[in-house]
Structure 1
Amino acid sequence: MSTAAISNWSGSRTLAGTFLAPTALDDAAEAVARSTHVRVAGSRHSFNDVVDSAETLLSLEHLAYRHPRLAVPASGDAPPSSVEPQLDPTTGLVRVSAGTRYADLALYLHDRGRALPNFASLPHISIAGSVATATHGSGRGNPALSASLTSVELITADGSRRTLADDDPSFDGARVALGALGVVTAMTLRTVPAYDVAQSVYGPVPFGNVVDAFDEISGLGYSVSCFTTLRDDEFASIWVKRAGTELDGTWPAEVAGGPAMSEAFHPIPGVDPANATAQLGEPGPSWDRLPHFRADHMPSAGEEIQCEYLVPRPNAARALEAFRRLSEPLAGLVQVAEVRSIAADTAWMSPMYEQECLAFHFTLVRDTPRVAAALPHLEAAFGPLEGRPHWGKVTAADPARVRPLYPRRTDFLELALGLDPERKFSNDFVRRWVG
């Protein structure tokens, strides 16, 4: 086990807690049982204090599956685990260790003719951490990644094991659990038959054209993302990803006045597109097209801070105009901002609970004081539109404003207290936002 302090993925903050990375599940259970306070650090793609611990900060990276094509060294002294997922060929359900990255699981499934329904922008993130924070991809028909979950296996406060499954009436409380129910050691997910995706990139597109035709644009493919730097009154690029029978149709020559690009493009204008997934309408496996970034390269820009608000779709037009007005207060801070659609889901603590949302995502420079000073402008823009901050990103939102937007919050708190009455798995973040 390692006890060195660790930072998050982008180096923007140090995670609080004594870091432990056990090499066996029994060791993890023992660490939980002897600790008075435990949180879990996944792939460390959070930008706030969601995983911070007053005592033990546990990592299950040595117990994660690593596909041979993507094998990378784990931190600490132990070699990477090679524990394989378990795929049921009859039901298509796959059981996987919680710390496994989406990219590794996707390749495992691809080798067996299966796939996941959707991906986030980054395939480098751990499955359990992504599910716990309601991380999502894009697409009007695609809910958050937690919607594929059918069971979770936990280490509880005394070190014993427990499984929660979707035949339990309270399971929707476990889909997006913010780490508050226990240490998730394995999960079972629904899969679908393997499918191809192709993506074409269009731009630049005048900002007003996107506002006027957003419903049409967001319906152009299985997944659609609109990118802008907010430095000009335009979207630098619109990424249209098509799947299945959509691939049989003809690609449009332009989208909202933006022509199809003839060369590969990075979401951040001017950055080498080598780490971006293949474009130009070239079909390929879904795991290698739905994410924006390649699994074997550094994701995004690296040194960054992220913020995101999820706004109910009925407020889309006003949210897009509010987004447009952020150009001045965010000047010099935005590397790129992205607008996406996410379908409704049933997870109690999901921002998309029973409502389709637009995601306004900001990749900001890694300058903590300047970003902190700008965050109230984002809250002023999206807060009045019932914007919910992403659970893993920075925000200046007032928890007192946000808590009432989750109608099942008290049910979730009751579930957490039932499983963890001493609140071993809660932290300041959970108490602040949930109770």
Structure 2
Amino acid sequence: MKRKEFLKTTGAFVAGSMVVPLVSCEDKPTEVRKNWAGNYQYKAKNLLEPKTTEELQGLVRKLSSQKALGSKHCFNNIADSPENQISTKNFNKVLGIDEEAMTVTVESGARYGEFAPELHQKGFALHNLASLPHISVAGAAATATHGSGVGNGNLASAVKGLELVDGNGQLVKLKEGDPDFYGAVVGLGALGIVTKVTLAIEKTFDVRQDVFQDLPLASLEKDFEAIMSAGYSVSLFTDWQNQVVSQVWIKRRMDEEITDACVEFYGATAATNNLHPITRLSAENCTEQMGKPGPWYDRLPHFKMGFTPSSGEELQSEFFVPMENAVDAILALEKKRELIFPQLMITEIRTIAADELWMSTAYRQPSVAIHFTWKQNWPEVSKLLPMIEAELSPFGVRPHWGKLFTVAPETLHDRYPKYQSFLELVKKYDPEGKFRNEYLDLNVYQA
């Protein structure tokens, strides 16, 4: 099936309000479920919520078709199933900190924003966080979700070990250095249901966040690498209008030698109050700015854990290009600004360090992410995505696995050197195809 046909027929977007009866392990009926943004309605008939690994193993052995469901932050059908979804909501505990190995082990459904404060209180930190702290650890790793920083790998790169239930119901433990580890971390939910994840940690640190407005596009073109290296984590926000980047968010570690932020940054001026990335929206939901230091977990994300992130009702797509091609890619898209702008809420541009994870969007290439937050208008957005992908195609673009894209499967496979190895790994861990769904049939299994 071609991808355009697939998007029309999968019901990948809200197509009505029919109530589908669902059951949990306790046989309790559940209302229709949608993802966080409300653009996707899950088609799985049953929802199960095991409380133990043993219970999960029993379900996997018994059921012929199933899929793990995490924090529901993906914008496509990667976490859906023809029959059964298995929620990881009860797998949410911190299992222990190994101070000698400098790791923390958490259950797969744990959300970064929920355990990060505890980690900080004990004197430790993660190297990076996504813009939203609301996402689950296993889901973030499985889709190579990222934070920002020229020297910072994505969230999956922090994984040092994982435990999963494979298609045979067996408990599999993998650690860094094992042959299958590098293919399993960004597993797209294809190998099994993850139960535990071990993450690298470091000594805790504070971060200050400074925001600048109206960075000239000419400055970005001339000094891109210097601008993106100006902090531990740097984000650019633009609506592609007026030849400017509307905001630059610079997050700097307080344990590194830094000076007070200046009032001017490559032609941009310092903000005089806290801002939302979408300037017209209130900054109430955003993490503290104006150079006020705070713990890593309360500055590296853009949004606070206790608040609705971003704008809420939206669509998202994101595309990764090699760092060396970033400026050319940005300028190519800038030429399409008048087509992009009517459906756009905001674009964010960030950097990610290279890693060795087979299906990571940053596999063996330092990358730049160009992220689009769209108005929730799929008919129009669906017309823009092929155009954007065509503009970025010369740069070997890789789309975010959990967001909206239309790249053809054969093209997608060509952009991952270890694709064939990953396909073999999937068939090894799920020989009967218990974790297959429409998403995997299209993007992984289809030749």
Structure 1-normalised TM-score?
0.93
1:372 alignment partner, one of 363, 382, 402: 382
1:107 alignment partner, one of 117, 121, 137: 117
Corresponding position: 1:354 with 2:381: no
C-alpha separation in 1, matches of 2:33 and 2:394: 36
- Quote how far apart the aligned CAs of 1:64 are: 1.3
Corresponding position: 1:183 with 2:172: no
> Which residue number in structure 1 is paired with residue 68 of structure 2?
40
Q: Quick check: 1:176–1:347 contact (8 Å CA) kept in 2?
A: yes
2:249 alignment partner, one of 222, 232, 239: 239
Q: Quick check: 2:320–2:400 contact (8 Å CA) kept in 1?
A: yes
Which one is further off, 355-364 or 156-165? Answer: 156-165
Query: Aligned to 2:407, what secondary structure does the other structure show?
Result: coil
- Quote how far apart the aligned CAs of 1:3 are: 5.2
C-alpha separation in 2, matches of 1:154 and 1:190: 18
Letter in 1 for 2:37: S
Cα distance per residue 1:283-338 (max 9 Å; x no partner)? 11000000000111110000000000000112112101012123111232111101
Corresponding position: 1:146 with 2:156: yes
1:112-191 superposed matches below 5 A: 112-191=122-201
Letter in 1 for 2:347: A
> Which residue number in structure 1 is paired with residue 36 of structure 2?
9
Q: Quick check: 1:218–1:224 contact (8 Å CA) kept in 2?
A: yes
- Quote how far apart the aligned CAs of 1:397 are: 1.4
- Quote how far apart the aligned CAs of 1:247 are: 5.2
Letter in 2 for 1:53: S
Query: Aligned to 2:386, what secondary structure does the other structure show?
Result: helix
> Which residue number in structure 2 is paired with residue 320 of structure 1?
330
Cα distance per residue 1:88-146 (max 9 Å; x no partner)? 12222111010010111211211211110000100000000000000001100001111
Letter in 2 for 1:10: A
- Quote how far apart the aligned CAs of 1:169 are: 2.0
Query: Aligned to 2:227, what secondary structure does the other structure show?
Result: helix
Cα distance per residue 1:143-188 (max 9 Å; x no partner)? 1111111111111223231211113122111110001111101111
1:256-295 superposed matches below 5 A: 256-295=266-305
Query: Aligned to 1:107, what secondary structure does the other structure show?
Result: helix
Letter in 2 for 1:8: N
Corresponding position: 1:29 with 2:73: no
Letter in 2 for 1:125: I
Corresponding position: 1:249 with 2:276: no
Letter in 2 for 1:6: R
Q: Quick check: 1:275–1:299 contact (8 Å CA) kept in 2?
A: yes
C-alpha separation in 1, matches of 2:79 and 2:258: 44
- Quote how far apart the aligned CAs of 1:377 are: 1.7
Letter in 1 for 2:335: R
- Quote how far apart the aligned CAs of 1:368 are: 1.7
C-alpha separation in 1, matches of 2:108 and 2:350: 27
Letter in 2 for 1:27: E
Letter in 2 for 1:50: I
Which one is further off, 323-332 or 42-51? Answer: 323-332
- Quote how far apart the aligned CAs of 1:40 are: 1.0
C-alpha separation in 1, matches of 2:99 and 2:346: 41
C-alpha separation in 2, matches of 1:16 and 1:160: 27
Query: Aligned to 1:300, what secondary structure does the other structure show?
Result: coil
Change (3 A) 1:395 1:158: same
> Which residue number in structure 2 is paired with residue 197 of structure 1?
207
1:56 alignment partner, one of 75, 84, 94: 84
- Quote how far apart the aligned CAs of 1:248 are: 3.3
| Percent of residue pairs identical | 38
Q: Quick check: 2:205–2:255 contact (8 Å CA) kept in 1?
A: no
> Which residue number in structure 2 is paired with residue 72 of structure 1?
none
Measured on the aligned residues, the alpha-carbon RMSD in Å equals 1.4
Cα distance per residue 1:405-430 (max 9 Å; x no partner)? 10011111111111111121222222
Query: Aligned to 2:156, what secondary structure does the other structure show?
Result: helix
Q: Quick check: 2:102–2:202 contact (8 Å CA) kept in 1?
A: yes
Letter in 2 for 1:143: G
Corresponding position: 1:342 with 2:370: no
Letter in 1 for 2:408: D
C-alpha separation in 2, matches of 1:297 and 1:116: 21
Query: Aligned to 2:337, what secondary structure does the other structure show?
Result: coil
Structure 2-normalised TM-score?
0.90
Letter in 2 for 1:46: C
Q: Quick check: 1:203–1:235 contact (8 Å CA) kept in 2?
A: yes
Which one is further off, 53-62 or 356-365? Answer: 53-62
Cα distance per residue 1:28-85 (max 9 Å; x no partner)? 22221111111111111101111121111111102213xxxxxxxxxxxxxxxxxx43
Letter in 2 for 1:272: S
C-alpha separation in 2, matches of 1:323 and 1:26: 50
